Amino acid sequence: MGSTERIKNVARRVAKWHDAGHQIVVVPSAMSGETNRLLGLAKEINADPDPRELDMLASTGEQASVALLAIALQSIGKEAVSYTGWQVPIITDSAYTKSRIQSIDDVKVKKDLDAGKVVVITGFQGMDADGNITTLGRGGSDTSAVAVAAALKAAECLIYTDVDGVYTTDPRVVSEARRLKTVTFEEMLEMASLGSKVLQIRSVEFAGNYRMPTRVLSSLTDPLMPLEEEAQSGTLISFEEDTHMEQATITGIAFSRDEAKITVRGVPDKPGIAFQILGPVADANIEVDMIVQNISVDGKTDFTFTVPRADYDKSMKLIDSGVKATLGATHVVGDNKVSKVSVVGVGMRSHVGIASQMFRTLSEDGINIQMISTSEIKISVLIDEKYTELAVRALHKAFGLEKG
């Protein structure tokens, strides 16, 4: 949706699917850069604008997009009607700038679809119980699309973006990275939370919760490419039973440079110590990820945790100025030049030796592991940031991800 010509291309693509007999609902985002432009204007007037008014402002970007797309569809002979989130309505809670969808009324939309119209609905926004316009936060258009698809019990939700699918890792780091034909919701959720920027985390959660098959496709392909070819392209995010998990132990390598590590040294090793350290951090709305507590020596221990790099200074100040003295810790040290590298795959459930292979590979390249965390389908390690790309390339090769 970056220009009027791109909008015309979207209309041609939508018309192709509609001509094939499909009922189509389109959920576009704002035109490229428009949301940032609007929010920038607000910040020029007030450095700390009221969240309700920010939502009122930001929602206008999508309103322009749906009207323009409906006009483009009408210009090529398609009956189309556009709606804002509050016209549907899409009901959300009242957490301005980061609302969550509570319900969607599908009556009006189904009536239009049955009449042969293409329905275009604003992404990213809704309305709370008091009639206030709300927005879902960054990436909210993907979440809106999945939610609308789930409400309408659609056969599939197609997410068109600037990449042609989900890859085994970032192709900019590993040129041999391979596009995946299928990936499970669990794997996609882990990869999204671990740094993959293909889809917004909440949209994957929504799709998984409502068992909505979701396909990631490229918006940069020829809009008139054969429907059969387009329907099989991209990456299908589906259910574990629909994929071939035995074919691959590891699905992908994810990484995030948005990491920082904080260690509180010499704290008493007693019940409640973790809460006393992390409680104030949580109260400051700072998310904690990896956690390690060392073995006790003479009744004292070291406690290490990671936070988003953007929250590093705030976290250090919080711990150093308050928690350190309260607990009688000897000192607090931090490092905001670390990154997290993860191997992800549902095949881990039925294969052994993944951790040892990962650790051996990193060791052979001289990469020291600072922290480790695991789940049923993921192993993550914290390493020095300068070794990020080396680690990703080595692990991608070690697990044979380029072979398919």
- Residue-wise pLDDT for 1-28, tens only, equals 889 999 999 999 999 999 999 999 999 9
Judge whether residue 393 has pLDDT over 70: yes
CA angle 195, 200, 202 (to 5 degrees): 115
- Quote the tokens at residue 58: 């930001």
| pLDDT tens per residue across span 117-173 | 999 999 999 999 999 999 998 778 999 999 999 999 999 999 998 889 999 999 999
> Residues 379-401: what's their mean pLDDT?
96
Beta strands 118-121 and 80-83: pairing type? parallel
The amino acid at 118:
V
CB-neighbour burial class of residue 367 (10 A; exposed 0-12, middle 13-18, buried 19+): buried
Ramachandran region, residue 329 (left: φ > 0; alpha: ψ -120 to 50; beta: rest):
beta
Q: Is the preceding omega at residue 51 within 30 degrees of 0, hence cis?
A: no
What is the DSSP annotation of 271-313?
TTHHHHHHHHHHHTT-----EEEPPPBTTEEEEEEEE-GGGHH
| pLDDT tens per residue across span 168-220 | 999 999 999 999 999 999 999 888 877 667 787 888 988 999 999 999 999 99
CB-side exposure of 179: number of CA atoms within 13 Å? 14
Nearest-angstrom CA–CA distance, 379 and 397: 17
Nearest-angstrom CA–CA distance, 323 and 319: 5
The per-residue b/e assignment along 323-352, b for 16 or more CB within 10 angstroms, e otherwise, is bbeebebeebebbbebbbbbbbbbbbeeee
pLDDT for the residue 245: 46
Nearest-angstrom CA–CA distance, 218 and 232: 12
Distance, C-alpha 335 to centroid of its chain: 25
Nearest-angstrom CA–CA distance, 28 and 71: 14
Q: Where are the alpha helices (DSSP H) in 158-237?
A: 185-193, 201-209, 227-231
Kind and range of the H or E run holding 373: strand 371-375
Closest CA relative to residue 238, chosen from 183, 158, 160, 156: 183
| pLDDT tens per residue across span 291-330 | 999 888 888 999 999 999 999 999 999 998 888 888 888 8
**Domains in the chain with CATH codes:** 4-241 (3.40.1160.10)
| pLDDT tens per residue across span 329-365 | 888 999 999 999 999 998 888 888 999 999 999 999 9
